[in-house]
Amino acid sequence: MANRSQIQARAAMMRVRFEAAGAQVVDPPLLQPAETLLDLYGEDIRARAYVTSDALRGEQMLRPDFTLPVVQMHMSEGAEPARYTYSGEVFRRQEHDPDRSNEYIQVGYEVFDRNDPAGADAEVFSLFALQLRGLPLRAATGDIGLLTAAVQGLRTSDRRKAALMRHLWRPRRFRVLLDRFAGRKPGPEGRDTLLDADDPLTVDVPMIGKRRAAEIEARIDALREDRDTPPISDNELAGLETLLNVRETMPYALEQLRDIAVDLPQITPALDRLGARVASLQARGVDVERLDFEAAYGRTSMEYYDGFVFGFYAEGRPDLPPIATGGRYDALTRQLGNGAEIPAVGGVLRPDLMLEIEEDAQ
Smallest distance, other proteins to C-beta of residue 179, A:
11
C-alpha to C-alpha distances, 87 to 73, 110, 112, nearest whole angstrom: 16, 12, 18
> Considering only 143-151, 199-207, 284-292, 339-347, which stretch makes contact with other proteins by CB under 8 A?
199-207
Smallest distance, other proteins to C-beta of residue 147, A:
16
The crossing angle, in degrees rounded to 10, of helices 158-166 and 171-181 is 160
Smallest distance, other proteins to C-beta of residue 265, A:
29
Helix (H, G, I), strand (E, B) or coil at 344: strand
Neighbouring residues of 68: CB distance < 8 A, sequence distance ≥ 6? 32, 36, 37, 40, 332, 336
Q: Are 161 and 137 in contact (CB under 8 A)?
A: no
Asked if 192 is part of the footprint of other proteins (rule: CB under 8 A), the reply reads no
Asked if 315 is part of the footprint of other proteins (rule: CB under 8 A), the reply reads no
Smallest distance, other proteins to C-beta of residue 335, A:
14
For other proteins, which residue of 5, 55, 99, 172 counts as binding (CB under 8 A)?
172
Smallest distance, other proteins to C-beta of residue 213, A:
8
For other proteins, which residue of 161, 173, 247, 334 counts as binding (CB under 8 A)?
173
Each residue 122-161 as x (binds other proteins by CB under 8 A) or -, in order, gives ----------------------------------------
For other proteins, which residue of 2, 9, 16, 38 counts as binding (CB under 8 A)?
38
Asked if 186 is part of the footprint of other proteins (rule: CB under 8 A), the reply reads no
What is the maximum alpha-carbon separation in the chain?
Answer: 76
Is residue 330 within a helix (H) or strand (E), and if so which, with residue range? helix 330-336
Smallest distance, other proteins to C-beta of residue 99, A:
12
Task: Give, as ranges, the residues between 223 and 242 that touch other proteins (CB under 8 A).
Answer: 223
Q: Alpha-carbon distance 124 to 111, whole Å? A: 8
> Considering only 55-63, 80-88, 120-128, 195-203, which stretch makes contact with other proteins by CB under 8 A?
195-203
What's phi and psi for 136, nearest 5 deg? -75, 80
> Considering only 22-30, 128-136, 214-222, 284-292, which stretch makes contact with other proteins by CB under 8 A?
214-222
Q: Are 168 and 299 in contact (CB under 8 A)?
A: yes
Pairing of strands 292-294, 137-143: parallel
Asked if 56 is part of the footprint of other proteins (rule: CB under 8 A), the reply reads no
DSSP 276-310: HHHHHHHHTT--GGG-EEETTTTTTT-TT--SEEE
Residue among 96 and 133 whose Cβ is closer to other proteins:
96
Smallest distance, other proteins to C-beta of residue 98, A:
8
C-alpha to C-alpha distances, 119 to 115, 223, 278, nearest whole angstrom: 8, 44, 10
Residue among 120 and 332 whose Cβ is closer to other proteins:
332
Q: Alpha-carbon distance 163 to 174, whole Å? A: 8
Q: Are 332 and 307 in contact (CB under 8 A)?
A: no
Residues in contact with other proteins by the rule CB under 8 A: 38, 42-44, 46-47, 95-96, 98, 163, 166-167, 170, 172-174, 176, 180, 188-191, 194, 200-201, 203, 205-211, 213, 215-216, 218-220, 223
